[in-house]
Chain A
């Protein structure tokens, strides 16, 4: 069984299990059952932001920062899967190579494989494997996102939104989407022109939130990932947010949300696979497609009939 070897810290077993999870092997579910009681200890940080903002370089620096404190660090780095070939080039590791032979760091690259929210559907389970392995901190780097890929917020405890100067005016900053989800905002490449202005506009946007007494108020930090400038401050801010989550009771709420999401996502997947698999198997699906083509049925009625025949209604 892979799970027992994972709990013993076997890197190959962990890597293999992550593969089985990503490839949706049935056996992975049984392994995850064994690991689940050993999860819930890692501090999970999400890093999101547009393509080219320097997320991977920042992750590399953050890993180094936590390693200085002797913490074990896992990284899950997500890059897009081609919608045409199903292939992918996962290139986030390029920026993190110096940690490749550090036994205290485990880096895993994942393709989105069709998921649209900035993560892959396997992300939470892969994070759980790292958690069960005993990683103190797990960092999730999302794909480069635009405005609305916000799944990271329910996958991580602390979400940092990484911006760079020159991406748009302050109207971009008050739109809905990724700018609503940051616990920490980072203006990276802060040596570039316009960094101060970008930081000011983000701060102005955040001040419009009018947080209640005792609520978290996100700060805007400036960093230069390539030179390591501002990283100590960023790590301190991660720690400050983590402490806030623990003392305010928010951590428990976040954990509940994360648990609920894992449960409902799994339920949705399994229900779909069970029902869809059954109707494909017994020919019902073919009949439905025929009926839709002839306009003798409609998708809504067809679904109702399928559900009526299953044991859930």
Chain B
């Protein structure tokens, strides 16, 4: 029987080596019934975008704690546009100052979650804001 299942790439761009948050989110997505492609640490924007395309994901969820979010996240979105993949939703979480969030949203990052957000909140956001592409 036909059934669309949401596919999500979870990864960490850049140099910081703390993947606990990314793993917790991956696990929460799994328990919510989503298919998670976990790509791990130290991803370049090129690797993230081409993996997202090959895996045909609906959402790219990036965890970033290094402080380089204002560079790396817009770079990912620019590449998505270049490869005509901007229909994939891009989301980020991590240590990101509130003051940076409007700029990130203007640069194509649909939502930004900061420390303390519950996994339920994030899963609920995915359920309501991301639908598997037809």
Give the contacting residue for B53; candidates A15, A85, A97; CB below 8 A.
A15
Q: How far is the CA of A26 from the CA of B34 in the complex (A)?
A: 22
Counting chain B residues whose Cβ lies within 8 A of the other chain, the interface size class is: 20 to 34
Contact, CB under 8 Å: A23 / B5: yes
24 A-B pairs in the complex with CB atoms less than 8 angstroms apart: A11-B54, A12-B85, A15-B53, A15-B56, A24-B3, A25-B2, A82-B30, A85-B31, A85-B32, A87-B35, A88-B35, A88-B36, A89-B27, A93-B37, A93-B38, A93-B40, A94-B40, A97-B40, A100-B39, A100-B51, A100-B54, A101-B47, A109-B37, A273-B1
Q: How far is the CA of A22 from the CA of B56 in the complex (A)?
A: 11
Q: Tell me how far the C-beta of A53 lies from the nearest C-beta in chain B, rounded to whole angstroms.
A: 19
Give the contacting residue for B56; candidates A19, A26, A94, A100; CB below 8 A.
A19
The interface of chain B, by Cβ under 8 A from chain A, is: 1-5, 7, 26-27, 29-40, 43-44, 46-48, 50-51, 53-56, 83-85
Q: How far is the CA of A250 from the CA of B80 in the complex (A)?
A: 45
> A16 at the A/B interface (Cβ < 8 Å)?
yes
In the bound complex, residues from chain B placing their C-beta under 8 Å from that of A12 are 53, 56, 83-85
Q: Can you name 10 extra interface pairs (CB under 8 A) apart from A85-B31, A101-B47, A108-B54?
A: A11-B53, A24-B2, A26-B2, A82-B30, A87-B30, A87-B35, A93-B39, A97-B47, A109-B55, A273-B1
Contact, CB under 8 Å: B29 / A87: yes
Q: How far is the CA of A174 from the CA of B38 in the complex (A)?
A: 36
Contact, CB under 8 Å: A89 / B30: yes
Q: How far is the CA of A108 from the CA of B68 in the complex (A)?
A: 29
In the bound complex, residues from chain B placing their C-beta under 8 Å from that of A93 are 37-40, 51, 55
A 216-235 binary contact with B (CB < 8 Å = 1; else 0):
00000000000000000000
